[in-house]
Amino acid sequence: MKTSRGFIMTILSLLAVLILLQLSMPHKYVWLETHDGNDSEPYGCMVFDSVMRSSMPKGYEVTDKRLNQIADGRHNVLIAAEKLNLSETEADALKRMLNNGATVMIAVTNFLRDETDSILAYDYGVVHCKYLFRDVSNLINQNNDNDYRPYTTIFYDKSNGSTPEKMQLYDFMFGSYLLCDEESEYREIAHVFNHDRANPYARIYFKSNQQRQKEIMKEPDEGTRLRKLEDFNEEFYKGNDDYNDDLPPVKHPVAIEKKVGKGRLIVVASALPFSNYGILSRRSTRLTSLLMAELADKPTLRSTKGTSRFSDSMLRGKEEKTPLDYVFSQPSLTEAWQLMLFTILLFLIFNARRRQRVIPEYKAPRNHNLEFVKLIGTLYWQRHDNNDLLQKKYATFVDAIRHSTAADITNIADDEENSQTIAALTGMPHDRIIETLKQLRFLVSNELQVSDSEMKKAIDSMNEITRKLS
């Protein structure tokens, strides 16, 4: 028994050590772009949603309904996601909302040229052009070098035509810029300057030289408009072929506004400003506030359906490490862990047998008073010993009267006083009570056999008096 206790204490001590190691480890942030309202990590939206609920003047709400389910409401819509994932039905609902006067802001970090990315390209003439994407780990490592400042300058162009507001964000907040069809009209909300001299002629427009392709997309025989953007290759959005070193850096939009019907479509080249990091970071708070102000004229819904939380490629290698992760990374520690689990299993198997005799089940004693009364009553009935039964009932009656009125009805000399007391307490006639007491004494003292009817009448009269006294 002592050996078993020692083994159990050893196992518990090992588990306690593992728990203490886990608790003592510093918290490691998980830089996954989830945009989940319950996620408190940097790229979740728990803090962002909370702040927006309290600061948006017309109201703010997060919904898991799809665009086609909220298309007819009087509200603006925000879609912030790592990747856009809309169906053709939702694409039609998006156009219906815009035509009805809603403002829809779509902020997507990674446009991977999948089928759903063609919605913005063919319906609204907007595509992403990825030129830079730094992982946050690079930022952390580079911050150790005091001479390096991985900032991007963002210029926010206000609708009133005033001087653009200048702000600096970390490079990883915007990993792409926007290209627009040259035939489309749009308002540039925010932009950056391209200083990459390897591509000095990259222009903000792409030529509408794919008109035939657009027409094919509308033909039923060729499928739907949800098609991969294979035609949006380097040739499609290259600029002027004439090289000129004197060209200034080209301005590239990172947020644009297009009029669609009675509404507005706002496309933002990154969803990171709408994360917890975006709302809490000193550098990005101002940009986030300005962008959300574009939606402040109506109640705002942030739709989480039709978006992917994060890709599998982002998930791999970024999970938070625990002490067990280190244990399993070492072959010798893994074998030791497996041996410990096997030993615990053997201990449970060999110590599962019973070590003492079976303890019998304790049954509480039953109350047999009712059965006893029924048995005695049956015996009296079978013997027809009415005299004895009546005497016992009379003795009980006398005791009940004494207990209730303090009167002794066995004393004949006090009949007058006792009967008056009983009559006052029961409300019965005084003469009737005297007559009942006399009849009871006669039957009890009489040696003649009492009949069943006489016994029943006497018992009923006694029960009536005791019932009214109680």
Task: Please give the chain's pLDDT, 470 residues, in tens.
Answer: 555 666 667 777 777 776 676 666 666 677 788 888 888 888 889 999 999 999 999 999 999 888 989 998 899 999 998 888 888 888 889 999 999 999 999 998 887 666 677 778 778 888 877 654 444 444 444 444 444 457 788 889 887 777 889 988 887 788 678 878 766 788 889 988 765 443 444 445 565 545 545 555 555 544 555 666 655 543 344 444 444 444 455 677 889 999 999 999 999 999 999 999 888 888 888 999 999 999 999 999 999 876 655 444 444 444 545 666 777 777 888 888 888 888 888 877 777 666 777 778 888 888 888 888 888 778 777 777 788 888 888 888 888 888 888 888 888 888 788 888 888 888 888 888 888 888 888 888 877 787 888 888 888 888 888 888 87
Q: Sign (positive/negative) of CA torsion 13, 15, 21, 26? A: negative
- Helical (H) or strand (E) element with 168: strand 165-170
Secondary structure (H, E, C), the chain: CHHHHHHHHHHHHHHHHHHHHHHHCCCCCCCCCCCCCCCCCCCCCHHHHHHHHHHCCCCEEEECCCHHHHCCCCCEEEEEECEECCCHHHHHHHHHHHHCCCEEEEEECCCCCCHHHHHHHHHHCEEEEECCCCCHHHHHHHCCCCCCCCEEEEEECCCCCCCCEEEEEEHHHCCEEEEEECCCCCEEEEEEEECCCCCCCCCCEECCCCHHHHHHHHCHHHCCCCCCCCCCCCCCCCCCCCCCCCCCCEEEEEEEEEEECCEEEEEECCCHHHCHHHHHCCCCHHHHHHHHHCCCCCCEEEECCCEECCCHHHHCCCCCCCHHHHHHHCHHHHHHHHHHHHHHHHHHHHCCCCCCCCCCCCCCCCCCHHHHHHHHHHHHHHHCCHHHHHHHHHHHHHHHHHHHHCCCCCCHHHHHHHHHHHHHHHCCCHHHHHHHHHHHHHHHHCCCCCCHHHHHHHHHHHHHHHHHHC
Query: Closest by alpha carbon to 284, among 169, 436, 375?
Result: 169
d(CA 429, CA 325): 95
Residue 2 class from Cβ within 10 Å (0-12 exposed, 13-18 middle, 19+ buried)?
exposed
Q: Are 320 and 80 in contact (CB under 8 A)?
A: no
**HSE toward the beta carbon, residue 51, CA cutoff 13 A:** 16
**Residue that has been written with the tokens 């509404």 in this structure:** 263
d(CA 467, CA 460): 10
d(CA 127, CA 178): 6
220 Cβ partners below 8 Å, 6+ apart? none
Both tokens assigned to 203: 């222009």
290 Cβ partners below 8 Å, 6+ apart? 156, 165
Q: Are 268 and 291 in contact (CB under 8 A)?
A: yes
Query: Closest by alpha carbon to 435, among 413, 458, 405?
Result: 458
d(CA 459, CA 453): 10
370 Cβ partners below 8 Å, 6+ apart? none
